[in-house]
Amino acid sequence: MTEQERMREVLERLRQAYPTARIRLRFSSPFELLIATILSAQCTDERVNQVTEQLFRKYRTPEDYLRVPIEELERDIYPTGYYKAKARAIRGCCQALLERFGGEVPQTLEELVSLPGVGRKTANVVLGEFFTPQGIVVDTHVARIVNRLGFVQTSNRERIEQRLMELVPREQWVSFTHLMIAHGRAVCHARKPKCARCVLADLCPSRTV
């Protein structure tokens, strides 16, 4: 079995195991998803959703985030953690959107990562959900699982992403991440993976059973 064939088998099994796997953040526009993803750093999606339920009613445009004192924005996003850094990133991002993109979220990876507070992961999330996927989101679950499966032997996120782009069919780039995250949350935990109930156990060189 080639690596591409093994990846296809992995994807098929995960699709059957997690048929409803999807992004957990709540949003109604590319701009809201951009803000929610910035807030999700070092924070659970559930906590972000609790915060954005009120946040997105109060702040609807990039201008809204720039009108209030930064201390007010910090209070509004405080529960997500690292609120001072996130408030600066959000305001910097909104300023750049207004100055360089007419207040609209750009649709290329190069333009998105030029925004303050936006890295490849955030950019790929937005592109995958609303525009044309130009890469694969590599979060902690994805990095951990593909290393355990032996598809890569590195912790470097960009190198992991480049390898996955070679192995995963382009039309499955977005669903791949959702499936990996679902599997990481349910079975392939960081400390004690539940290998005995893993649908990928026979394909995994790291299994403990």
User: What percentage of the chain reaches a pLDDT higher than 70?
Assistant: 100
What confidence score (pLDDT) does residue 1 get? 87
What confidence score (pLDDT) does residue 48 get? 98
The whole-model pTM stands at: 0.93
Q: Which residue has the tokens 């059957």?
A: 16
Where does the chain have alpha helices with state H?
3-17, 30-39, 45-58, 62-67, 70-77, 83-101, 109-113, 120-130, 140-148, 157-167, 173-186
Q: Do residues 202 and 6 touch, judged by C-beta distance below 8 A?
A: no
| CA 172 – CA 8 distance, rounded (Å) | 10
Q: Which residue has the tokens 């809201």?
A: 32
Catalytic residue status for 121: yes
pLDDT at 209 exceeding the cut of 80: no
pLDDT at 35 exceeding the cut of 90: yes
Topology at the third CATH level for domain 3-22+136-203: Endonuclease Iii, domain 2 (1.10.1670)
Q: Residues 72-100: pLDDT tens digits? A: 999 999 999 999 999 999 999 999 999 99
Grouping H, G, I as helix, E, B as strand and the rest as coil, residue 41 is coil
Parse the chain into domains and list their residue ranges.
3-22+136-203, 30-130
Query: For residue 187, what are its two tokens?
Result: 């079975």
Q: Which of 139, 192, 194, 202 is catalytic?
A: 139
What confidence score (pLDDT) does residue 107 get? 97
Q: Residues 129-156: pLDDT tens digits? A: 999 999 999 999 999 999 999 999 999 9
Catalytic residue status for 139: yes
Q: Which of 76, 121, 192, 202 is catalytic?
A: 121
Q: What is the CATH number of domain 30-130?
A: 1.10.340.30
Mean pLDDT score across all residues of the chain: 97
Query: For residue 143, what are its two tokens?
Result: 């990095």
- 83 contact partners, CB below 8 Å, separation of at least 6: 74, 77
What confidence score (pLDDT) does residue 32 get? 98
What confidence score (pLDDT) does residue 208 get? 87
pLDDT at 44 exceeding the cut of 80: yes
Query: For residue 140, what are its two tokens?
Result: 């902690």
